[in-house]
Amino acid sequence: MELLVFVAASAMVLGGALGVILMRNPVHSALGLVLTLFGVAVHFVALEAHFLAAVQVIVYAGAIVVLFLFVIMLLGVDSAEDLKVDGLTIQRPLAAIIGIGTVAIVSVAVLRTRSTIAAGPALEASGDSNIRLLSRNLFSDQVLAFEITSVLLIVAVAGTVLLTRKQSGPTGARKGS
Amino acid sequence: MIFAGSQSVIAQINQWVAPTIDWHALAPELVLIVGINLVLFIDLSLGAAKKWAMATLTGLVFLAAFIPVVTLAVIGDASREMFDGRYVVDGYSLILKAIFLLAAYVLVLMSQNELEEGGYYQGEFYVLMMCSVLGMVMMTSARDLIAIFVALELLSIPAYMMAAWRKRDSRSNEAGVKYYLLGVFASAVLLYGMSFLYGTTGSTKLTDIGASLVDGDLLGLQVLAVVFVLGGLAFKISAVPFHSWAPDTYEGAPTPVTAFLSVASKAAGFVALMSIVMLALAPANSVVRPMLWVLAALTMTVGNVMALRQTNIVRMLAYSSVSQGGFILMPLVVIGTGNAGDSVLRAVIVYLLIYAFMNLGAFSIVIAVARRTRSGEITSFGGLFGYAPGLAVLMTIFMASLAGIPPLGGWIAKFNVFKTVLDAGDTAAYVLALIGAVNTVIAAAYYMRVLRQVWMAPAPDGDVSPIKVPSSIQAALAITAVGTVLLGVLPGLVLRFGDITDLTGALAR
Amino acid sequence: MLAAIEPTTTWYLLLGAVLFGLGSVGLLVRRNPLVMFMSIELMLNAVNISFVALAVRFGDISGQTAVFFVMVVAAAEVVVGLGIIVSIMRRRPGATADDLAELKG
């Protein structure tokens, strides 16, 4: 059963990823991204990381990809990108070499470290304690980082609003509320 | 059984105790957070004519954040630890906090006129800047991979927006996109390395990681983790071969932002590098040393060679800052060898402080001159001595200091670096010192080229009316010039930093 | 027989490696800034898979906390990145990463 879930979810992840990098239309790429993100969420469920699985679906698939699609539609750049035309002909093989090289090196390192990393099955039942454990950790050891991210979110929103705002005058016009 | 079963959940809740928070130690960060919100909301209700007040307010916030740094330094000699040693306020972090806040104050002075006259959104710009500085201040105390990551993003994300802040200029847009894509890519690489580091040691706390790694017996995955972590950080400090974003972003971004990126952002990258390398990766020296050696040698050399070919002053300063980054990397190469261990931190911190002074000074002059000439070419500095002798003398000081000519600050910085490297006393260190020495000579060539324009060449368009320097830039120039000269003449001031030879929690070596 | 085989941490790490590789290929090959950005999201998800798999194998929660922060920061990054891309695309519709070559050298 676990094997089946793993294979199915991995197929979603990798199929979606291939979709992102091969589809010519950005909208299709975004849909490929959704598939990958759902696949990752399934893996999280299988790994008993329930809270992260929920966040993955709500924040990543729900908010982030919708934002992508929204921007694609807003800008009207949903026209196909010609993958054949490539200014830098060296880039394609170079990318392949870097990609395959990364995968190969990491895989070899993982496999050689296998005995130390994962002797047994990775999965263990943990009941509903996942969220409790996570929140305990979040609000004790990592509480400062957690609070600081709130500043990051405020500033990101405030800055982005101004970046995308159409500037009206030669000098910064009065910003309304 | 990996997690505790559900029957013990109640017990776990009872175990949970609110983390003890040392408010005094957190005061600099809290002041900045209050300042961010204050500026954000006051700016909303302020008419366009009064926007200048935002710069003053931001400057005051930076100075206010400086006060707790001073009181912490005066009161406590022991380090203060919070969250199980994940956030540490010690001598090392206090000195770096002071450097960041001081640099930020000078940057506000430099930005003020540029923003008022350039038609930028002002209030929000300062909000972004304060947010970025908050990330830097946090970085100095972060002793956990997660905290370091959050601090790094906190200082980078506003910087992406600042680089694109000149919205109607497509070069600024491009600077923003390029910086953004490469910056986020670097974060992903860094995180991937962090995940392996966590996965092979079982902790995100730097000191625990350091305790788990065993030198000479590193797992393949650990070697890879080190490579990824160092690679990701190398982007942030624009070390060659991860520097390609720097010159383009530096040229395209508004000049005060360029100064911000090349001084404050870069210094923060070095702080992250120092904390991780000294606390977590100390046992992995066999991987860290060769990698940093190559990075340092390449960064110095390539940065210098490219700087020689530039005709635009901002691009030249961009490549010069790349090559200065190589010099700052040099002492980190010899961590844990010979007698060098103790002086590494001091050499890096002194270099960062002096580099902040001289580079900010050079950028202030570029801003002041470009206000009239509207040009970024080196030739636009022709005849500067004729019509603005004050600026010419100051430019000479900053350029000579960057080149490392005694008795200016840059000389002390370089002297410390070379002394540290030579103290290590092995062949690799000697070769690196030799490369550094050759580079110092090359660097002098392009700094002198600017000075030749300033002193010898005629004004390009015959316009010799004096330059009016706004008072805020005058103040920035005064602070940076005094800093550059004073630290050179009285090196004893910074050699007191000798007290901070050890990071709290560093492994005994 | 097959049902007895359970996926181990190694499998998840290998999956993460492949996903990371695909993301980096996409970043290098594609010229549309939006798609390049999606490729970076793939890489971040590879990181998340590795973190969670390793956290579970240690029975230690802090790896999952790290993923939580990656997600929060990724959300902020996406907002900022799309903001920058919108401001550039408004001026020059259909811009690709190659068109952004006013700065060169």
CB B40 within 8 A of CB B127: yes
**CB crowding B235-255: b at 16 or more within 10 Å, else e:** bbbbbbebbebbbbbbbbbbb
Domain that holds residue C60: 9-91
- Could you tell me whether strands B87-89 and B80-82 are parallel, antiparallel, or unpaired per DSSP bridges? antiparallel
Burial class of residue A155, CB neighbours in 10 A (0-12, 13-18, 19+): buried
Report how far residue B176's alpha carbon sits from residue A92's, in angstroms, rounded to the nearest whole number. 25
- pLDDT over threshold 70, residue C65: yes
Task: Please give the DSSP secondary-structure letter assigned to residue B81.
Answer: E
- pLDDT over threshold 70, residue A83: no
- Please report whether residue B9 resides in a domain: no
For residues A110 and A69, state if they share a domain.
no
- Please report whether residue C104 resides in a domain: no
Helices (H), A23-140: 26-46, 50-55, 65-75, 91-112, 114-117, 129-138
Give the CATH number, domain containing residue A77. 1.20.120.1200
Each residue's pLDDT tens digit, B350-395: 899 999 999 999 999 998 888 877 777 888 887 788 788 888 899 9
- Please report whether residue B322 resides in a domain: yes
Question: Which A-chain residues 57-96 have CB contacts (< 8 A) with chain B?
Answer: none
For residues A71 and A5, state if they share a domain.
yes
Give the CATH number, domain containing residue C84. 1.10.287.3510
Question: Which A-chain residues 98-137 have CB contacts (< 8 A) with chain C?
Answer: 98-100, 102-103, 106-107, 110-111, 114, 117-118, 120-124, 130, 133-134, 136-137
Least confident of A119-123, B13-17, C27-31: A119-123
**CB crowding C27-62: b at 16 or more within 10 Å, else e:** bbbbbbbbbbbbbbbbbbbbbbbbbbbbbbbbebbb
Domain that holds residue A156: 129-166
Mean pLDDT calculated for residue range B130-159 = 93
With contact defined as 3+ CB pairs under 8 Å, the chains touching A are B, C
Q: What percent of chain B has pLDDT over 70?
A: 91
- Please report whether residue C64 resides in a domain: yes
Sort out which chain B residues have CB atoms less than 8 A from C91's CB and list them.
168, 170, 173
Residue in C43, C51, C92 nearest the CB of B188: C43
Number of domains within chain C: 1
Determine the pLDDT at residue C44: 94
- Please report whether residue B143 resides in a domain: no
Q: Which residue of B has its CA nearest to A170?
A: B119
- pLDDT over threshold 90, residue B470: no
For residues A5 and A69, state if they share a domain.
yes
Report how far residue C85's alpha carbon sits from residue B177's, in angstroms, rounded to the nearest whole number. 7
Residue in B149, B184, B192 nearest the CB of C81: B184
Determine the pLDDT at residue B507: 46
- Please report whether residue A175 resides in a domain: no
- Please report whether residue C15 resides in a domain: yes
- Please report whether residue A176 resides in a domain: no
Number of domains within chain A: 3
List CB contacts of A11: < 8 A, sequence separation 6 or more: A39
Sort out which chain C residues have CB atoms less than 8 A from B160's CB and list them.
80-81, 84
Least confident of A112-121, B328-337, B444-453: A112-121
CB C34 within 8 A of CB A68: yes
Residue of A154, A155, A177 to mutate, testing the B interface (most B Cβ within 10 Å of its Cβ): A155
For residues A146 and A159, state if they share a domain.
yes
* Rg of chain B over all Cα atoms, to the nearest angstrom: 23
- Please report whether residue B76 resides in a domain: no
With contact defined as 3+ CB pairs under 8 Å, the chains touching C are A, B
List CB contacts of C58: < 8 A, sequence separation 6 or more: B199, B202
Shortest alpha-carbon distance between residue B275 and chain A (Å): 17
Sort out which chain C residues have CB atoms less than 8 A from A46's CB and list them.
7
Determine the pLDDT at residue B80: 80
- Please report whether residue B52 resides in a domain: no
Mean pLDDT calculated for residue range B468-479 = 88
- Please report whether residue C101 resides in a domain: no
Mean pLDDT calculated for residue range A140-146 = 88
Determine the pLDDT at residue B11: 46
Q: Which residue of A has its CA nearest to B125?
A: A159
For residues A111 and A150, state if they share a domain.
no
Domain termination residue (choose one: A82, A113, A138) = A82
Neighbouring-strand partners of residue B142: B87
Domain that holds residue B411: 286-502
For residues A32 and A76, state if they share a domain.
yes
Average pLDDT, chain B: 84
Shortest alpha-carbon distance between residue A153 and chain B (Å): 9
For residues A64 and A27, state if they share a domain.
yes
Q: Which residue of C has its CA nearest to A112?
A: C10
For residues A13 and A68, state if they share a domain.
yes
Determine the pLDDT at residue B509: 37
Q: Which residue of A has its CA nearest to B154?
A: A152
At residue B91 the predicted structure's pLDDT band, cuts being 50, 70 and 90, is confident
**Dihedral of CA A114/A116/A122/A128: which sign?**
negative
Number of domains within chain B: 1
